[in-house]
Structure 1
Amino acid sequence: MFSVEERDRVRARLLARAEADEAVVGAAWTGSHAVAAGDRWSDTDLVLAVRGGLAATVDRWTRWLRSALGARHHWDLRSDTSTVRVFLLPGWLEVDLTFTPEAEFGPRGPQWHTVFGRTRTPEPFPEPDGNALAGLLWHHVLHAFVCLERGHRWQAAYWIGAVRDHVVTLACLRLGLPAAHAKGAHLLPDELAAELETTLVRSLDGPDLRRALTAAVTVAAGELRRSDPALAARLSPLLAELEEANERAAGGR
């Protein structure tokens, strides 16, 4: 694994490259390092403001990361106007580079530290949609049940895990914790964490999958009651019906 010293050297080289690139008119650290909260395992997140079209600058930087820093692979996150390119360097060092138009260079959240360049005030990233998350909960428990009925055990395990993930996101939203990518999951109350643990699939045996699904339905219904009581009242009878059907199937009746 990479060392802190190796990561710091890469960060210094990235910044020097940005300062020397005439097409780059701004740079900012984001993520944990931007707010002095990074640790030994933190990756590197850098936003570059680009004057003119992005494609040529993205390609030029990609070639440089391969030749100068030994990047082994890269891939892109979807973004409307920016290119977010994620690189894997030797030693499992991750570098996330966001190439954004000059007019959109600015913080969209609290984890931002401008190194140079003029910042604007873009619209903040939207929070996850609680109503859509609630919809995903009932959708996923339904599909997990159907997969079990069809004997598709791997797919059932997938849907049960997805239910748990969305409960975590919905709970984080409700409690004002970081909601994206389970970043606030470790801050959830112990009682809820214990409930979530019961949804873990321990085996692809039918009985354990049925048990995990029942637990997932119970946890999802509980979080809906806390997050949106009115919606929970409408969905509770259906969730209870599915839970009863799952229990009957588990008992072979």
Structure 2
Amino acid sequence: MYSVEVRDAVRDHLLGGAINDSTIVGAAVTGSQALGGGDQWSDIDLAFGVDGPLETTMHRWTELIYREFAAVHHWDLPYGSAIYRVFLLPDALEVDIAFMPAAEFRPRGPSWRTVFGHPAPRVDAPTPSRRDLTGLAWHHALHARVCIRRSRWWQAEQWIGSLRGHVLALAGLRLGRAAAHLLPADVTAPLTATLVRSLDEAELTRALGAATAALVAELGLVDRELAGRLANILGDPPRRLGQ
């Protein structure tokens, strides 16, 4: 496992390389460390504004990181006009670098500290709507029920976990808190019962019932009528095929 000193040295080396790269017109620290947060387990999150084709600069930087830090693997996450290239180093240090066109070099949220360059005005990612989160939640509850009926235990477990995530997202939207770890215990504690402890019909049915109850309770805090309508439908316990 990497040390704080090693992580910071890698970050500073990368930022120094960015300053000396003529195609990089701006750099920023993003993520948990941007505003003085983070801890000893935080990884490296950077954003580079690129003048010219992204692929050319990304290819050169990929070769650099493999050569100088012996990277083990990398993968890409496109997001709008940016591409986040995510590297894994041998000591389990993750390095995320967002390569974006120079004109699009800008914060996508509050976690941003400009190192050099002139970022465009901040644009926050759109907040998911309560309607969409609610729809996804009841969709996942129904699919979990069907998977239990079909004896597809692993699929059922995945749907239940996703349902729990959307209940947390709905609570975060209600309380104005984006991350689940910022939610109060009275919101998160009841969701412990939604964790699946084994892959069998009885346990999956129990966990789904707890997750459905949590969804209905959360919705009931803002829309009691809708919560009641969904409770009437989602409260039907799953039965296996042939029953």
Match for 1:63: what amino acid?
E
Q: Secondary structure at the match of 2:194?
A: coil
Match for 1:203: what amino acid?
S
Match for 1:23: what amino acid?
T
Q: 1:107 to 1:203 in 2, by over 3 A?
A: same
Match for 2:30: what amino acid?
T
Larger mean CA deviation between 137-146 and 186-195 belongs to 186-195
Instruction: Look up the match of 2:212.
Output: 217
How high is the sequence identity, in percent, across the aligned residues?
Answer: 50
**Distance in structure 1 (CA, Å) of the matches to 2:62 and 2:133:** 36
Q: Secondary structure at the match of 2:177?
A: coil
Match for 1:18: what amino acid?
A
In the TM superposition, residue 146 of structure 1 has moved relative to its aligned partner by 0.8
Instruction: Look up the match of 2:169.
Output: 169
The runs of at least 4 consecutive aligned structure 1 residues that moved more than 3 Å come to 227-231
In the TM superposition, residue 189 of structure 1 has moved relative to its aligned partner by 2.2
Match for 1:214: what amino acid?
G
Q: Secondary structure at the match of 2:37?
A: coil
**Distance in structure 2 (CA, Å) of the matches to 1:234 and 1:49:** 49
Tell me if 1:197 matches 2:197.
no
Whether the 8 Å contact between 2:109 and 2:122 is mirrored in structure 1 is no
Match for 2:164: what amino acid?
R
Q: Secondary structure at the match of 1:198?
A: helix
**Distance in structure 1 (CA, Å) of the matches to 2:122 and 2:100:** 11
**Distance in structure 2 (CA, Å) of the matches to 1:102 and 1:120:** 9
In the TM superposition, residue 88 of structure 1 has moved relative to its aligned partner by 0.5
Structure with the bigger percentage of helix? 1
Match for 1:185: what amino acid?
A
Whether the 8 Å contact between 1:170 and 1:227 is mirrored in structure 2 is no
In the TM superposition, residue 230 of structure 1 has moved relative to its aligned partner by 4.9
Q: TM-score, normalised by structure 2?
A: 0.94
Instruction: Look up the match of 2:83.
Output: 83
Structure 2 runs not aligned, ≥5 long: none
